[in-house]
Every structure is written in structure tokens, then in C-alpha cells.
Amino acid sequence: MSLFAQIKLKCDSVAITFDVAAVHAATIQELADGFSAKPAEILSPVELHAAFIQHCVDSGNSKAAPAVFSAFCQTFDTASRDIHAIVQAQGLEEDVARRVLKGYFSAWPLVNNSIEPSFAWPVAPSPALFLSESVGLMAMFGGQRGTSSYLDEAAWLLDVYRPLLLDFVTCMSEFLHCESQDEQIASMYSNGLDVLRWLTTANAMPDDQYLLSIPVCLPLVALIQLMHVMVLYKTLGVSPGDLVKRFKGKSYSMCKTKVAKFTTEYAN
């Protein structure tokens, strides 16, 4: 008796097949038979497979999603290439690439919490820039953005990498909102600093004038930059301390210890 079974999935004109452990096959095929990606139109296998990962995660089945994710990794060889490189090579439009990445990373908590040894998050090779001794990397943290759309970047990050970022953003949002209520500065924060609610609740965003005020803009830009740092070290499969060791620029070295200390508790 075979240890594996083939799953068939079709949506619109796109169809894929992949193998999963036979013990999970019946459940996954049932999910596949009831799957519908509408209203989004599926145009490629990578879109379909990523959308199905999301569907399995949303179903609440802790076995199906890691199994489908593992099949995705085998199909697209995520052991040799980072998922972002794979998406780029597919030549996908921006919205499609966003959906593929979101579907892929939706499996993050289930895969990392699975007790089955066959389910493991793939660790792709380090970027070439990190492997070259002749390249001295320096990270730059910028200042205030010129338009209120800077929060669109945070919304994009939280949407695509939600399982990686939600705990951190929730904690920081609570901290910033609490600090903004301090009587010494509360007059500058008439709408507080509840960034998580702004990003996740329709029509909760304050007006542009408030978002562009320096007391609001500066801490939120810093938060967005830390979100990027967190996504980087988690997707590379390294600790914050290991990440900062890759950077050799003098300006960055002055603050890298503080960044590592600040983010270490969110590393897992």
C-alpha cells in the first residue's frame, strides 16, 4: 500500500496535482472538491496552490494545511530558493504576488507548531549579499514620510505576513497607545496611537493632518521599519542577533545591539 496519494485540484482553467501522505489524503481531497477561489481569477499553478493553502488554513484543519504547504515546497523547490525569488521568477502582477505570499505565509503557525517531523518550515540559502566577504552591508533607517500613505506599507506588511507580525504589532500598538495617554503629551494625541485598530478596522484611520503630524508619524515610521526587520530575520530563519552580524557599516553597528535586544523576544 502506497504511503502517498495524489490530490487533484482545479479552478477555472487551471489544474494542479500533488502528493500528500495517504493518511491526510481523504480530508485534503474533500477540501479540494469544495474549494472555490472566486471572485479572484486564478491564472497559474502557483496562485492556485497558494490559494489552497490559505483555504486549508481557514478550514481550521491543523493537519491538512501543513501537508498542502509541504507539497507546495516540493513542487516549487523552496529549499533552494526563497519564496520571494520564486514569486519574482513567476512574473506575477503585484496583487497576485501579494496573494501568493499571503497564502504561503498563512501556514506559518501550523507548520511551526506541528509535531510531525515531515512538516518543517523550509530554510532557503542565504542571500548572495550575505555570503560575500567583499560586501560591507549597512542598514539605513529613514525619517518621516512625506505623505499619509506611509501606513499603506504597514497594512501591506500586516496583510501578507500577518502570522509573523501580529503579536509584535499588537504589543507595540498597545504600548504606543498607552504612552500617548500620558498627561504630559496627551494633547498631541487627540486620536491616540492605536495603530492596530487603524490597520484592521474599516474607516478607523485618522485624517491625513493627524497622521502627518510629527508626534504621530515618527513612531509609526519606526514601527514599520521594525516590521521589515522582523520579516527579514524570520523569513531567513535566523535570530535578530545573527541578522545584525551580517551588517558591517559603522553607522549601523552603533545601534545594532539595541535593535537585536528590542526584537529578541519576538524572534519565534
Residue 184 near residue 192 (C-beta atoms within 8 A): no
Higher pLDDT, 196 or 133: 196
Residue 230 near residue 239 (C-beta atoms within 8 A): no
All cell numbers assigned to 11? 479552478
pLDDT in the model for residue 260: 54
The answer to whether residue 238 scores a pLDDT higher than 90 is no
Higher pLDDT, 116 or 67: 67
Quick: pLDDT tens for 104-115. Answer: 999 999 999 887
Q: 242: which residues sit within 8 A by CB, 6+ positions away?
A: 233
The secondary structure of 127-189 as a DSSP string is PHHHH-TT--B--------SSTTHHHHHHHHHHHTHHHHHHHHHHHHHHHHHHHT-TTTGGG-
pLDDT in the model for residue 122: 87
How confident is the prediction for the chain on average, in pLDDT? 86
Domain ranges within the chain, ordered by starting residue: 4-125, 150-266
CATH number belonging to domain 4-125 = 1.20.1050.120
Quick: pLDDT tens for 48-86. Answer: 999 999 999 999 888 899 999 999 999 999 988 899 999
Residue 19 near residue 6 (C-beta atoms within 8 A): yes
Quick: pLDDT tens for 39-48. Answer: 567 889 999 9
The answer to whether residue 7 scores a pLDDT higher than 60 is yes
Q: 112: which residues sit within 8 A by CB, 6+ positions away?
A: 121
Per DSSP, the three-state class of 67 is: helix
CATH class label, 150-266: alpha beta
Our measurement of the distance from residue 38's CA atom to the centroid of its chain's CA atoms, rounded to an integer in Å, reads 23
Mean pLDDT of 136-141: 75
The answer to whether residue 245 scores a pLDDT higher than 90 is no
| DSSP 8-state assignment for residue 3 | S
pLDDT in the model for residue 200: 93
Angle at 92 between CA 89 and CA 95, to 5 degrees: 140
What's this model's pTM, rounded to 2 decimal places?
A: 0.86
**pLDDT band (50, 70, 90) for residue 268:** low
Residue 66 near residue 49 (C-beta atoms within 8 A): no
**pLDDT band (50, 70, 90) for residue 254:** very low
Closest by CA position to 41, among listed 33, 51, 32 = 51
The answer to whether residue 13 scores a pLDDT higher than 70 is yes
Closest by CA position to 235, among listed 44, 63, 86, 52 = 86
The answer to whether residue 195 scores a pLDDT higher than 60 is yes
Half-sphere exposure of 224 (CA within 13 A, CB side): 22
Quick: pLDDT tens for 148-170. Answer: 688 999 999 999 999 999 999 99
Q: Residue 14: beta bridge partners?
A: 11
Helix (H) or strand (E) holding 8: strand 4-11
